[in-house]
Structure 1
């Protein structure tokens, strides 16, 4: 099943360069919602670039739940 309008299977993530290794680290569980917002925005910027559609969608999702 494809995610609505994405052309990718549900849960799949588009990569800008297939086969590019990505290193992710696990952070301690944060006490506030601001820390995961910052972490996910940094991850989106690192993976897709700060001006990418994906970065904008992550930022919009946090704004939608009133985390700024």
Structure 2
């Protein structure tokens, strides 16, 4: 999603669970090469601890992996 820019045409197929970005392979490669991660929103405090300890929400946002 970070490579999608305003004005791009995309096709989302929920049934097939796919997303297609309608740009050239060269343009996509250029965007991928120039993509930089955003700086962390929080640098100290409870939210930093939370982001380091909690898994993805797709994995139930677990904080203790020894449960399984």
Q: What TM-score comes out, normalization by structure 2 length?
A: 0.24
The structure where strand makes up a greater share of residues is 2
Larger of the two Rg values belongs to structure: 2
The structure where helix makes up a greater share of residues is 1
Q: What TM-score comes out, normalization by structure 1 length?
A: 0.24
Q: Which has the higher contact order (CA 8 A, sep 6+)?
A: 1
